Amino acid sequence: MAQTTSTGKASYYSDSLQGAPTASGSLYNKEALTAAHLTLPFNTLVRVTNLSNDKSVVVVINDRGPYTKRRIIDLSRAAAEEIDLIDQGVSKVKLEVIENYFSR
């Protein structure tokens, strides 16, 4: 998979979704470094950088969404904590596709 980048806004999953099924069939785990994206294949590794503080985290896409306009990714709570997104709630981020697990 070729490396691609994009920018947009990120948010994170509510803790109330802990244990709920994701679109990939796995259960949401707020402690895992996972995320939802509308079009990237499941198991794609993506580096997410919070542009307000330059902190980044690598997540695995395992769900679909966000379904809110102008947001490009929803992060698990653990991923949001890594880039200090919890207090911000929503922040502008840069996404860098690293690879798909199955392309190795």
Helices (H), the chain: 77-82
Q: In this model, does residue 72 exceed pLDDT 90? A: yes
Mean pLDDT over residues 28-46, rounded?
96
Residue 101 sits at the vertex; the CA angle it makes with 96 and 104, to the nearest 5 degrees, is 100
Mean pLDDT over residues 36-48, rounded?
96
Phi then psi dihedrals of residue 77, to 5 deg: -60, -45
Give me the residue spans of the domains in the chain. 5-103
- 2's enclosing H/E stretch is none
Q: What is the pLDDT of residue 4?
A: 83
CATH no., domain 5-103: 2.40.40.10
